[in-house]
Chains A and B, each alone.
Chain A
Amino acid sequence: MVALLKEIYRAEPSFDEVLAKHPRFPRLIARKIDVQRRGVHYTEAAEKAVDPAVHQLRSPYIFGSRDGEIKPLPESLLLRDGTTILVDPTPLDQNPYVVDYREGRFVLVDGGEQLEEVDLWPKPVYYDKLTTSGLPMSHIVSARPQRLNVFQSSFCYFWADKEGCQFCDIVTHTKQQREEIGVPNRLRPEDVKETIAEALKEPGRFTNLCLTAGSVTKGKEIFDLEVEFYIELLQAIGENFRTKKFPSQLIASAFNEKQLARLYNETGLTSYTTDLEVLNEELFGWICPGKARQVGYQGWKQRLVNAVDIFGRGNVGTGIVGGVETAQPSGFKSEHDALQSTLSEADWLAARGVTTVYIVWVPRPGSAFRDQKAPSLDYFIRLAQGLQDIRASHGLKVDFDDYRRCGNHPDSDLARLQ
């Protein structure tokens, strides 16, 4: 498999050849996509230059990484235009980009050529602190350059029912995090509240909060218990703010209108995302069997549309795992057809006030799709441009999930010029 991956990247058209076909696509965003696609390897010089007092090292994350290891390496990178690259350390034999340290700077290198100067993410001050209950705050709330991530629980009932999404490694990774670094299974609201209070002491560091977790299907109505957890957590977090609402994103299951109204009215939450993962009904059934059986593709979509009435246009989104629609044997055989289908669904959603963002699909070792091959750089460029063009044509904002508040969606990076 490893040798195969290496061959795949080598046999492709080069970065410059691909970019030549997209002269209006920003080179830095294409570079981000390619780095995410291929991963990075830190040289010995780079590892030595990492200063744990200054740079943010990898913290608990809801999903795993492609090296399948938890090591004290840098969390991720920033490009010179402020673009975030969320990228995993990747074994050298998979032909990743290389991060080296030369003449006092971290640089991105490929094929021996120095391409870009990069910055490591700065470490937030609260990362060195403990909660009153004695837990490292970095295990409670993790940071991106401008956002706080609260991974409320890394357990998913779809997984437990053996109907987890096929690209997802949440439970494999949870077990590893719990066993190797003692990350708690479920967060206590008072620990989260305390950690966020500490994080907010650092001026100019954070612009929003993101909450997410696996799906909790339990309750009188499906997801009632999940909604209860989030309300409790958001109310605790809200005690840190003097305004009722605070810039925040919840990425959760597809809630019904009653549940959404409760979330909106009883907490400070300002935006809502529920991930369809793949914009095709048939593939949704294959790739996300739990979601498909318990809510269904059409049901999931309808709940997104209903959320717009509650949270407002531009404050509701769905995430897709870009490229997973080409997974075999049931996915699209041609990238062209995959793109057409995905964009037409995204357009349908945008017309109803729902924005679509994608993450670059990386087949992860802990997922059922570990042996799959992600599509080409060309595909990811077209997908980013297509989604952003749709957003712009419908006059939809993506403020809550843009380059700064999130940083993990190449399409919403492009919204900087919208």
Chain B
Amino acid sequence: MPATLTPDVIALLDSAETVKVLATVDANGAPDAVEKPSLHHGGDGTIHVLEFLETSAANRNLTHTIWYGGSISVALHGADGHRVQIKGRPVKLHITGPLFQQHYVRARETLGDVDLAGVWVIEPDEVIDERFEKVRAREDAAHPDFIHLDRIAV
């Protein structure tokens, strides 16, 4: 059952101001984290990411994940400080067809003489609010013993 992207997460995904990072792993478990300004909401609860290079680590790792299973992570940091992590799985790669062509044309209009290797579709499994106050509140509630004593000393 895919996780739902709430309107605030969709807004974060679709904002040009948001810092967007895609983290994947390769066949040996080696991580790769790259900024992906092209990450955006696919309009149907999925996330789309444009891959410009056929042999980039992210493209190979996404291929590895769609073939063998596993998950990837998307980290978003909005201009207003909103931070979210989305864990998910690549479920489809468009290498041709209307969606691919639409992105190809738009990418070349906005970025100049670039190519497009594919448009990955990511289905979200979990959306985690990563704002520090939220993370800390969750940690405090779950593990009240994890505290330096000086913090509670009189």
Contacts and interface: CB of A to CB of B under 8 A. Distances in A.
Contacts of B64: 417
B125 to A, nearest CB: 17
A103 to B, nearest CB: 14
Interface in A166-222: 202-205
Nearest to A81: B66
Contact of B101 (A26, A82, A203, A404): A203
Interface in B7-63: 27, 54, 60, 63
A81 B63 contact: yes
Given A203-B108, A204-B116, A146 B63 contact: no
A82 B118 contact: yes
Nearest to A27: B67
Nearest to B67: A26
Interface in A53-97: 78, 80-82
A119 interface: yes
A45 interface: no
A416 B96 contact: no
A205 B96 contact: yes
A290 interface: no
A322 B74 CA distance: 41
Contact of A146 (B27, B60, B96): B96
Contacts of B54: 404
B98 interface: yes
| Most B CB within 10 A of own CB, among A145, A202, A416 | A416
Given A82-B94, A145-B95, A205 B67 contact: no
Given A203-B105, A417-B60, A122 B97 contact: yes
Size bin of chain A's contact surface:
20 to 34
Interface in A350-375: none
Contact of A80 (B60, B66, B96, B101): B66
Contacts of A4: none
Contacts of B105: 203-204
A416 B27 CA distance: 12
B113 to A, nearest CB: 12
A115 interface: no
Contacts of B100: 204
A294 to B, nearest CB: 39
A78 B92 CA distance: 11
B127 interface: no
B57 to A, nearest CB: 11
B102 to A, nearest CB: 9
A2 interface: no
B27 A82 contact: no
B67 A82 contact: no
A8 interface: no
B97 A417 contact: no
B85 to A, nearest CB: 25
Interface string B93-117: 1111110110011001000000010
A205 B100 CA distance: 9
**3 tightest CB-CB pairs across the interface, nearest first?**
A204-B104, A26-B67, A145-B96
18 contacts: A28-B66, A80-B66, A80-B92, A81-B67, A82-B94, A82-B95, A121-B96, A122-B97, A122-B98, A145-B97, A146-B96, A202-B101, A203-B104, A203-B105, A203-B108, A404-B54, A416-B63, A417-B64
Interface of B: 27, 54, 60, 63-64, 66-68, 91-98, 100-101, 104-105, 108, 116, 118
